[in-house]
Amino acid sequence: MSRYFTDEHEWIDVEGEIATVGITDYAQEQLGDIVFVELPAEGASFEKGDDAAVVESVKAASDVYAPISGEVVESNSALEDEPALVNSDAEEDGWFFKLRIADASELEGLMNEAAYKKFVASL
Amino acid sequence: MTMLKEGRPTAPAPVEDAHMAPATATGNRALMLEEKLIFEIGSTETTGVDFAQAPLTGSRLGNLARTDVIGLPGLSEQETVRHYTRLSRQNYAIDLGLFPLGSCTMKHNPRLNEKVARMPGFADIHPLQPQSTVQGALGVINELAFWLIELTGMHGVAMTPKAGAHGELCGLLCIRAALEARGDARSVVLVPESAHGTNPATAAFCGYKVEDIPATPEGRVDLEALKARLGPDVAAVMITNPNTCGLFERDMKTISDAVHAAGAFVYCDGANFNAIVGRVRPGDLGVDAMHINLHKTFSTPHGGGGPGSGPVVLSEALAPFGPLPYTARMADGTIHLIEEENVGEEMPRSFGRMSAFHGQMGMFTRALAYILSHGADGLRQVAEDAVLNANYILRSLDDVLDAPFGQSGPCMHEALFSDKGLAEGFTTLDIAKGLIDEGFHPMTMYFPLVVHGAMLVEPTETESKAALDQFILALRSLAERAKAGDDALKGAPYHAPRRRLDETLAARKPVLTWTDPGMV
Amino acid sequence: MRYLPLTDTDRRDMLSFIGASSIDDLFVDVPAQARLPGTIPGLPDHASEMAVERHMARLAKRNLSAGEAPFFLGAGAYRHHIPASVDHLIQRGEFLTAYTPYQPEIAQGTLQVLFEFQTQVARLLGCDVANASMYDGSTACWEAIVMARRVTKRGKALLSSGLHPHYVSVAQTMAKFTGDALAYRAPTLDAATDIDALIGAIDKDTSCVVVQYPDILGRVADLTPLAEAAQAAGALLVAVVTEPVALGAIRAPGSMGADIVVGEGQSIGVGLQFGGPYLGLFACKQKYVRQMPGRLCGETVDASGKRGFVLTLSTREQHIRREKATSNICTNSGLCALAFSVHMTLLGEKGLRDLAGLNHALACQAADRLAQVPGVTLLNDSFFNEFTLILSKDARDVVRTLADKGVLAGVSLGRLFPAAPEIGNGLVVAVTETVTPEDIETLAKALEEELA
């Protein structure tokens, strides 16, 4: 399994043809207390860059983009009842949705963990 | 001599520590009374209203009689008066003191307006009465419309919009109708970054794509960037003037000319008209449409969040497309209401109706009473005093608070500060909550979005110099405490009916209606 | 200039403190050609309170107010008696002159009222949740159509012919710009509503069916079959109530399955005021709450653990979501919501049921009496406090003639539906608790004379 990061502060775990997507710990810290997560329906298809989910704090609503193209195979229903999971465990239990990867070449050019850390430090 | 030893002590014992006030059994604190919900104190059998016995007739409710318990508690009249009186005392209000919410124009609400609006001839007439029976009401609409047109130098006015945002919608619908009439479909509306949130929301609501226009470092629209973006796809530019940084858009006329040359229209957000009423007419600046918040500039009460009223003045190019119904004065002096049935001859290009009936009549009577009270000279003085008061605050505090556009010239009706320079960990929120303890309503905070930690202070013209000085004293003290890192400030407010409230909890587990604990 | 506290001395001192030589220095950013040198010509100068009051009173006297005449108008705005304490309480400065409760620590009064209001409205309409109010019934109705589009991702709404024609006009105006498809035709003069036709028209593109209850002709019908048919096809049922007092007597739309219930709340606590400000009611099922437009107040606790209230779920709203907001609405009808809530608290369930019962009984009496007038037929089998009479001639003329005789007879269908002359003989008559037996007799006699 390998983990990728985007400059939109999302992480992607790739296992075979399935990618699990969430927002980074840095992102959840910036957003503050998460109060609601709107997740995509299973079967929804996204092109890379489409609005795929919404994450809300008290004062802001942020779009989560599909980091790569694909079809949603599962959404993390635990977030519906407990959006605070995104704050407490953004990069594991707080995942958002899983995609069936349409084009693995889109993963090229994404950051690894070290590169993302460097990117965050530069902000 | 005679001596009376009984009776009460008449001088208090010295207080050692006023902060150590003991808790009370009721939770009340003298005049500050806790008040439960009507669902906790009322009952479905109690009522504060008596009715005559209903005559005996059969039921013709189509077998739909309501038999369930609705769950509406009642209170006796005395309990009702007490419940709402107690609740009212937990509110800050203009009647209590300076209410410096930037962009909201919280000015004094004259009580003459309330008296006039309650005259039975205005308060107790039905919107669908025959026109011959409501000539006075139509006269009010017509007279107010005349004033709004004259004060803005525009060609016509749509009176029906229900609030500012509804007025924005009206203006954009006029623009769309005018463009469609000339077969010119355009898809983009340009909005400055500093705009009120209603601007982009409105443009999107009527089907436009919204694009931002950047601001210059001195807080005004970037004219060059705007010009570069204009093109055949741009339907309108929405500009707030004076803008939300409290500055007059110096290039307004140049902007309008450029927008018109590109075949687009200029929408002006008139939320800040109070700064220029009687001194500047938007019509002279090339504006095509502008809403006027009667509850801001023209003193109708905010009522805890509404109702508003948002007539929209229109240029000659847009006026034919305005909404129904509207009034027209006939040659014989009668006033005619133009509705769907006679619109064909009178206004064939109207875009249609945008609310039932004739707009916020109850606000028209109030606004007209206010306008007539001030007259042309008084309204001009309103703008001057509003601007003077704001500049007085700006210059009284710019040594202790960062004023991001303090060097951009005089401000108009509001002074903008930021939280730059406060001690580590101290924010605009702390200053705002500190103001509550000082007995003031906080300023607008975190708006406009273009300034980090913005504090937007609009005193309005109805504050005396003494009131301004008291406010300046309070804000100066808070700024000094926040700069010195006084941790006690982070706990403010201490003296309000409630301490800081948990908004995260409210949003995570929304409780929007009351549920009887016995029912869950 | 009684509303301006600054003295000339203050002004001089303040200008000098700022470092400005005159007030003109503060307006330097206005382009020279747009600076007005003096007051706008042709407008009068300031006036005394007495002079203004006299002027306004003169205008007010040129109206025939409802209290001065036998009065039978309804059709979306109803005259009910408002207890004196309602107007007293809404004029308390702490309510009247407060702003939107953005600083909850010093706005608990407004916030608790909104929380109570939301609960009262939800219960009255039979829904799980209600918002803190909209502009009026007509705009709330359009917002419901847009919300149904968001929920179903479909763009075709079926509007019942019994929906208030102004509400239809508002929706048609907006739909021209948003691209929503609206199916609608004017009503016919039948005792039965068009529910069966609506059920037949629902298809896979239908976002919602919008039905008024009681409808514009005063008819009431069970909405349950319509709700079932809509939901079976993946569409929502939007019910519109323009006379909320009716819900003290007839079943709530929410209890018959409506997904969204909107309404005009004016009838409770808010005077006629020639059409505004009124009070838009908006309620729905819990599962749609995040798609709702408008302000919401929610319960929470403060830092010391005490119960308190805040505005919540505001990420739906324009000031945060900007172009992605559920609506551009920025105000609510706060003071009208307060009036509604105070009046409803005074009434309580018992009072509301008594009031509704009185309205219905008087309306039954009036319908029977008026149906005896030669040339008058009663359309309705069922009604609450409003019904439609079919006259032997155009009702519009009759209404005007009777107004000249000092009787405000009702609302003619010609006024409401100018494009449907075939129903022009219809007259919608509302009978509330403010109508006396003498008023009914006066109207009957006047109609007899006019239709003879």
Question: What are the pLDDT digits (tens) for B37-91?
Answer: 999 999 999 999 999 999 988 899 999 999 999 999 999 999 999 999 999 999 9
Percent of chain B with pLDDT over 70: 98
> Does C328 score more than 80 pLDDT?
no
Percent of chain C with pLDDT over 90: 93
Two tokens at B102? Answer: 């930037």
Selection from C402, C38, C386, C437 nearest residue C216 by Cα: C386
Task: Say whether A38 sits in a helix, a strand or coil.
Answer: strand
Q: Give the mutation candidate from A35, A36, A55 for the B interface (greatest B CB count, under 10 A).
A: A35
Selection from C151, C131, C164, C111 nearest residue C284 by Cα: C131
Selection from C309, A114, C184 nearest residue B512 by Cα: C309
Neighbour order of strands in the sheet with B455-457: B415-417, B455-457, B444-445
Two tokens at B26? Answer: 């009721």
Q: What is the pLDDT of residue B330?
A: 81
> Does C266 score more than 80 pLDDT?
yes
> Does B224 score more than 70 pLDDT?
yes
Task: Indicate if C399 and C437 belong to the same structural domain.
Answer: yes
Q: Which residues of chain B does CATH 3.40.640.10 include?
A: 112-367
Q: What is the pLDDT of residue B133?
A: 97
Two tokens at B304? Answer: 């805890």
| pLDDT (tens digit per residue) in B445-463 | 998 888 999 999 999 999 9
Please say whether the beta carbons of C359 and C385 come within 8 A. Answer: yes
Please say whether the beta carbons of C186 and C423 come within 8 A. Answer: yes
Bridge partners (DSSP) listed for residue A14? A2, A19
Q: What is the pLDDT of residue B17?
A: 62
> Does A94 score more than 90 pLDDT?
yes
Residues of chain C in contact with residue B355, where contact means CB-CB under 8 angstroms, are: 135-136, 138-139, 166, 170, 276
| pLDDT (tens digit per residue) in C291-301 | 899 999 999 99
**Cα(B468)–Cα(B393) distance, rounded to whole angstroms?**
7
State the count of interchain CB pairs (< 8 A) between A and C.
Answer: 15
**Cα(C421)–Cα(C417) distance, rounded to whole angstroms?**
8
Comparing A32 with C375, the larger pLDDT belongs to: C375
Q: What is the pLDDT of residue B23?
A: 87
Closest CA–CA distance from residue A38 to any residue of chain C (Å): 10
**Cα(B231)–Cα(B244) distance, rounded to whole angstroms?**
26
Q: What is the pLDDT of residue B260?
A: 97
* Domain membership flag for residue C6: no
Per the listing, tokens 């006030």 go with B21
Q: What is the pLDDT of residue B3?
A: 73
* Domain membership flag for residue C359: yes
**Cα(B497)–Cα(B269) distance, rounded to whole angstroms?**
36
Q: What is the pLDDT of residue B7?
A: 75
Two tokens at B91? Answer: 């509110």
ipTM for this prediction? 0.96
**Cα(C138)–Cα(A78) distance, rounded to whole angstroms?**
39
Helix locations, chain A, DSSP H: 25-31, 78-81, 85-88, 113-121
Q: Do C327 and B205 touch (CB under 8 A)?
A: yes
Domain that holds residue C91: 84-344
Please say whether the beta carbons of B128 and B282 come within 8 A. Answer: no
User: Across the interface, which of B446, B503, B507 has its CB nearest the CB of A36?
Assistant: B507
Average pLDDT over residues A59-81: 90
Average pLDDT for chain B? 93
Whole-Å CA distances, C269 to B204, B306, C6: 35, 15, 38
Task: Indicate if C307 and C421 belong to the same structural domain.
Answer: no
* Domain membership flag for residue C437: yes
Q: What is the DSSP string of C276-334?
A: -S--EEEEE-GGGGGG--S--EEEEEBTTS-EEEEE--GGGSHHHHGGGSS-------H
Task: Indicate if C118 and C176 belong to the same structural domain.
Answer: yes
Bridge partners (DSSP) listed for residue A34? A57
**Cα(B414)–Cα(C26) distance, rounded to whole angstroms?**
12
Last residue within a domain, chosen from C303, C327, C344: C344
Task: Indicate if C190 and C142 belong to the same structural domain.
Answer: yes
Bridge partners (DSSP) listed for residue C281? C263
Residues of chain A in contact with residue B507, where contact means CB-CB under 8 angstroms, are: 35-36, 56, 58
Confidence grade of residue B517 (pLDDT, cut at 50, 70, 90): confident
**Cα(A100)–Cα(A80) distance, rounded to whole angstroms?**
22
> Does B520 score more than 60 pLDDT?
no
**Cα(C97)–Cα(B304) distance, rounded to whole angstroms?**
7
**Cα(B283)–Cα(C202) distance, rounded to whole angstroms?**
49
Q: State the Rg of chain B over Cα.
A: 27
The CATH code of the domain that includes C370 is 3.90.1150.10
User: Across the interface, which of B302, B392, B512 has its CB nearest the CB of C296?
Assistant: B512
Task: Indicate if C315 and C357 belong to the same structural domain.
Answer: no
Per the listing, tokens 């001065």 go with C68
Confidence grade of residue B10 (pLDDT, cut at 50, 70, 90): confident
Q: Is A36 on the interface with C (CB under 8 A)?
A: yes
The CA-to-CA distance between both ends of chain A, in Å, stands at 28
Q: What is the architecture, at CATH level 2, of domain B376-496? A: Alpha-Beta Complex (3.90)
Q: Do B504 and A83 touch (CB under 8 A)?
A: no
Q: How many CB atoms lie within 10 A of CB B26?
A: 8
Selection from A116, C238, C91, C203 nearest residue B117 by Cα: C91
Two tokens at B210? Answer: 């919204």
Which amino acid is it at B321?
F
**Cα(C407)–Cα(C446) distance, rounded to whole angstroms?**
8
Q: Give the mutation candidate from A34, A58, A82, A86 for the B interface (greatest B CB count, under 10 A).
A: A58
Task: Indicate if C118 and C256 belong to the same structural domain.
Answer: yes
Q: What is the pLDDT of residue B19?
A: 61
Average pLDDT over residues B505-513: 93
Q: What is the pLDDT of residue B58?
A: 87
**Cα(C125)–Cα(C133) distance, rounded to whole angstroms?**
13
* Domain membership flag for residue C104: yes
Neighbour subunits, A (≥3 Cβ pairs < 8 A): B, C
Task: Say whether B428 sits in a helix, a strand or coil.
Answer: helix
Per the listing, tokens 């172009």 go with C323
Comparing B378 with A122, the larger pLDDT belongs to: B378
Q: What is the pLDDT of residue C247?
A: 98
Confidence grade of residue B15 (pLDDT, cut at 50, 70, 90): low
| Greatest C-alpha distance within chain C | 82
Per the listing, tokens 């007495």 go with C50
Q: Give the mutation candidate from A33, A35, A38, A56 for the C interface (greatest C CB count, under 10 A).
A: A56
Task: Indicate if C145 and C266 belong to the same structural domain.
Answer: yes
Q: What is the pLDDT of residue B8?
A: 78
Q: Which residues of chain B does CATH 3.90.1150.10 include?
A: 376-496
What angle, rounded to 10 degrees, do the helices at C108-125 and C334-371 form?
30
Task: Indicate if C326 and C223 belong to the same structural domain.
Answer: yes
Which CATH number, 3.40.50.720, 3.90.1150.10, 3.40.640.10, 3.40.50.300, labels domain B112-367?
Answer: 3.40.640.10
- Name residues 39-98 of chain A within 8 A of C (Cβ): 56-61
Neighbour order of strands in the sheet with A97-101: A2-5, A10-15, A18-23, A97-101, A70-75, A45-46
Task: Indicate if C109 and C209 belong to the same structural domain.
Answer: yes
- Name residues 349-388 of chain B within 8 A of C (Cβ): 351-363, 365, 368-369, 372-378, 380-382, 384-385, 387-388
The CATH code of the domain that includes C319 is 3.40.640.10
**Cα(C276)–Cα(B123) distance, rounded to whole angstroms?**
10
Confidence grade of residue C318 (pLDDT, cut at 50, 70, 90): low
Confidence grade of residue C178 (pLDDT, cut at 50, 70, 90): confident
**Cα(C275)–Cα(A92) distance, rounded to whole angstroms?**
56
Closest CA–CA distance from residue A95 to any residue of chain B (Å): 18
* Domain membership flag for residue C57: no
Q: Do A56 and B507 touch (CB under 8 A)?
A: yes
> Does C352 score more than 70 pLDDT?
yes
Q: What is the DSSP string of C216-250?
A: TTS-----HHHHHHHHHTT-EEEEEES-GGGGGTB
> Does B332 score more than 90 pLDDT?
no
> Does B109 score more than 70 pLDDT?
yes
Please say whether the beta carbons of C255 and C283 come within 8 A. Answer: no
Task: Indicate if C446 and C426 belong to the same structural domain.
Answer: yes
User: Across the interface, which of C275, C332, C364 has its CB nearest the CB of B356?
Assistant: C275
Q: How many domains does chain C have?
A: 2
Confidence grade of residue A47 (pLDDT, cut at 50, 70, 90): very high
Closest CA–CA distance from residue A99 to any residue of chain B (Å): 27
Please say whether the beta carbons of C271 and C66 come within 8 A. Answer: no
**Cα(C277)–Cα(C273) distance, rounded to whole angstroms?**
7
> Does B18 score more than 60 pLDDT?
no
Last residue within a domain, chosen from C314, C344, C374: C344
Q: How many CB atoms lie within 10 A of CB C384?
A: 28
Task: Indicate if C277 and C393 belong to the same structural domain.
Answer: no
Residues of chain B in contact with residue C351, where contact means CB-CB under 8 angstroms, are: 47-49, 51, 74
Last residue within a domain, chosen from C327, C344, C361: C344
Q: What is the pLDDT of residue B429?
A: 96
Task: Indicate if C191 and C159 belong to the same structural domain.
Answer: yes
Please say whether the beta carbons of A57 and A32 come within 8 A. Answer: yes
Neighbour subunits, C (≥3 Cβ pairs < 8 A): A, B
> Does C61 score more than 90 pLDDT?
yes
